[in-house]
């Protein structure tokens, strides 16, 4: 099996902000992943892990640089894993637009050419990457899953489809109904083709409708009301609507004045990390 190769490490809040490179069999390319390792890693106790899934155009570095998560992660003893948002490389299919191809993997397994030979972010995030993380660090078995925008879509859909692997899901400004918004329709058409039954496997609203009655995975969503994409990409609200229909206890908070940027994420990341930490520790 491949392993993580450390390419940089900087001390941060008593822990270490690290960056790793590794060969990915699933994505058929080389990948970078950023990991915050808290000071508690020096002890012998398995640590809770949160995976952060970033949005369109991001790499593994945006969250690390901009979200200010290390302070609270260090306090709580959380490992925070920030993967890239797509396969990468010169021989990986791409598109000129920012919302398709590299930087826009949409956390799904593509079935269509030219995408299907690399774009398998679903399998990468759910299986391959946790395998590498768990062989490198001493981790509690289930993880928390968080993300922003396209990454909020990833957190909701991967979490709702893998209830046994995660303790909790949280999202900022998530795409929740990709089968019915411009970003989602463009990406799903390209990656999945015209089979709409398959589209629903990657739609948080559809998944909650189908599976909500069988599970009680805690869900937290924060949404800025001055977010330029809130209306145009139908963020958050359709999911809240389905949750209410299903009588599902998702926590959804709306914040006047906040936009779609990392300034919004930084303002509320502490509450997300504390949310996950609470459920992650129930494994101990």
Q: How far is the CB of 269 from its own copies (least distance, A)?
A: 10
Residues 6+ apart with CB under 8 A from 98: 56, 57, 104
Catalytic residue among 118, 260, 272, 277: 260
Which residue, 15 or 238, has its beta carbon nearer to its own copies? 15
Let me know if 260 is a catalytic residue: yes
Q: How far is the CB of 67 from its own copies (least distance, A)?
A: 9
**Which of 227, 272, 276, 277 does the annotation list as catalytic?**
227
Assess contact for 147 and 54: CB atoms under 8 A: yes
Contact 78, 47 (CB under 8 A): yes
We find the least distance from the C-beta atom of residue 157 to its own copies, in angstroms, to be 28
Helix (H) or strand (E) holding 60: none
How many helices (H) and strands (E) the chain has is answered by 11, 9
Q: Which is nearer to its own copies, 116 or 255 (CB)?
A: 255
Q: Output the smallest distance, CB 272 to its own copies, in A.
A: 14
Strand 219-224 versus strand 251-255 pairing type: parallel
Rg (the chain; Cα; Å): 17
Cβ proximity to its own copies: between 209 and 267 the closer is 267
Rounded CA gap, 50 and 155, in Å?
11
235 neighbors 173 (Cβ within 8 angstroms): yes
For residues 49 and 69, which CB has a smaller minimum distance to its own copies in the complex?
69
Q: Which CB, 29 or 69, lies closer to its own copies?
A: 69
Whichever of 70 and 156 has its CB closer to its own copies, that residue is: 70
> Mapping DSSP to helix (H, G, I), strand (E, B) and coil, where does residue 151 land?
helix
Phi then psi for residue 97, to 5 deg, are: -80, 155
Question: Is 149 noted as a catalytic residue in this protein?
Answer: yes
Instruction: Answer whether 146's CB lies under 8 Å from 159's CB.
Output: no
d(C-alpha 117, C-alpha 93), whole Å: 9
The minimum distance between CB 132 and its own copies, in angstroms, equals 23
- State whether the Cα torsion 117-119-122-124 is positive or negative: positive
Q: Which two tokens stand for residue 23?
A: 């060969």
Tell me which of 12, 34, 86, 149 is the catalytic residue: 149
Could you identify the residue written with the tokens 């629903």? 200
User: CB of 241: closest distance to its own copies in angstroms?
Assistant: 25
Of 82, 85, 79, 87, the residue nearest 67 (C-alpha): 82
Site of interaction with its own copies (CB under 8 A): 10-14, 17, 65-66, 68, 70-71, 224, 226, 255, 257-259, 261-264, 266-267
Catalytic positions: 149, 227, 260
């Amino acid at each position: 099996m491949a392993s993580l190769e450390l390419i940089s490490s900087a001390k941060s809040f008593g822990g270490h902000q690290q960056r790793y490179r590794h060969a990915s069999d699933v994505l058929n390319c080389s990948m970078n992943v950023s990991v915050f390792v808290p000071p508690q890693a020096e002890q012998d106790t398995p640590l809770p892990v949160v995976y952060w899934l970033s949005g369109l155009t991001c790499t593994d570095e945006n969250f690390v640089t901009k979200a200010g998560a290390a302070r609270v992660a260090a306090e709580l003893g959380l490992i925070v894993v920030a993967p890239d948002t797509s396969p990468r490389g010169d021989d990986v299919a791409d598109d000129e637009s920012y919302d398709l191809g590299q930087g826009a993997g949409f956390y799904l397994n593509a079935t269509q050419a030219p995408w299907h030979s690399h774009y398998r972010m679903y399998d990468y995030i759910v299986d391959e990457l946790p395998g590498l993380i768990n062989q490198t660090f001493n981790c509690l078995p289930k993880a928390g899953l968080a993300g922003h925008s396209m990454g909020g879509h990833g957190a909701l859909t991967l979490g709702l489809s893998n209830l046994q692997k995660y303790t909790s899901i949280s999202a900022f400004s998530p795409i929740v109904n990709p089968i019915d918004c411009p970003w989602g329709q463009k990406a799903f058409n390209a990656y999945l083709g015209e089979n709409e039954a398959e589209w629903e496997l990657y739609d948080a609203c559809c998944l909650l409708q189908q599976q909500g009655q069988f599970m009680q995975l805690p869900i937290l969503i924060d949404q800025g009301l001055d977010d330029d994409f809130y209306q145009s990409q139908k963020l958050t609200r359709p999911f809240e609507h389905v949750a209410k229909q299903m009588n599902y206890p998702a926590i959804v908070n709306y914040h006047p004045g906040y936009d779609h940027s990392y300034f919004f994420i930084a303002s509320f990341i502490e509450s997300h990390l504390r949310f996950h930490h609470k459920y992650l520790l129930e494994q101990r």
